[in-house]
Amino acid sequence: MELIESRSIFSPATGFIRRGGFEWTCNPYIGCTFGCTYCYAAFLPQNRRPPDEWGKWITAKKNAAALAEKQAPRVAGEPVYMSSVTDPYQPIERGLMLTRGILEALLPHQPRLTIQTRGPLVARDIDVLRDFRSLRVNMSIPTDSERVRQQFEPKAPPLDRRWDALAQLKDAGIAVGVCVTPTLPIANVDTFARRIADFKPDVVVCQDFHDAGGRFGADTGAEARALLAETGWGPADYRRFVNRLRLSTTVFEGETGFFPPPAVPAGVEGSRR
Ligand code: SF4
Query: Domain spans of the chain?
Result: 2-257
Q: What is the pLDDT of residue 55?
A: 93
The finding on whether 38 has its CB within 6 A of some atom of ligand 1 is no
The finding on whether 86 has its CB within 6 A of some atom of ligand 1 is yes
The finding on whether 39 has its CB within 6 A of some atom of ligand 1 is yes
Q: What is the pLDDT of residue 269?
A: 61
Compute, in angstroms, the gap from residue 129 CA to the centroid of ligand 1. Answer: 22
More confident call, 224 vs 166: 166
User: Best substitution site from 26, 29, 43, 87 to test ligand 1's pocket, by max atoms within 8 Å of Cβ?
Assistant: 87
The alpha carbon torsion through 223, 160, 132, 79 (nearest 10 deg) reads: 20
The average pLDDT across 163-169 equals: 98
Residue nearest to atom 8 of ligand 1 (CA): 39
The average pLDDT across 37-51 equals: 83
Q: Which helix (H) or strand (E) holds 95?
A: helix 93-96
Q: Cα angle at 181 between 186 and 170, to 5 degrees?
A: 95
Query: Are 56 and 35 contacting, i.e. CB atoms less than 8 angstroms apart?
Result: yes
Which among 207, 213, 188 has a CA at the least distance from the CA of 257? 207
Q: What is the pLDDT of residue 214?
A: 67
Q: Tell me the pLDDT tens digit for each residue of 48-67.
A: 788 889 999 999 999 999 99
Compute, in angstroms, the gap from residue 265 CA to the centroid of ligand 1. Answer: 33
Helix axes 98-106, 64-71, angle to 10 degrees: 10
The finding on whether 35 has its CB within 6 A of some atom of ligand 1 is yes
Cis omega before residue 83 (within 30°)? Answer: yes
Q: What is the pLDDT of residue 267?
A: 66
Please tell me whether residue 188 adopts helix, strand or coil conformation. Answer: coil
Superfamily the domain 2-257 falls into: Aldolase class I (3.20.20.70)
Strand 59-61 and strand 29-30: the pairing is antiparallel
User: Best substitution site from 39, 59, 116 to test ligand 1's pocket, by max atoms within 8 Å of Cβ?
Assistant: 39
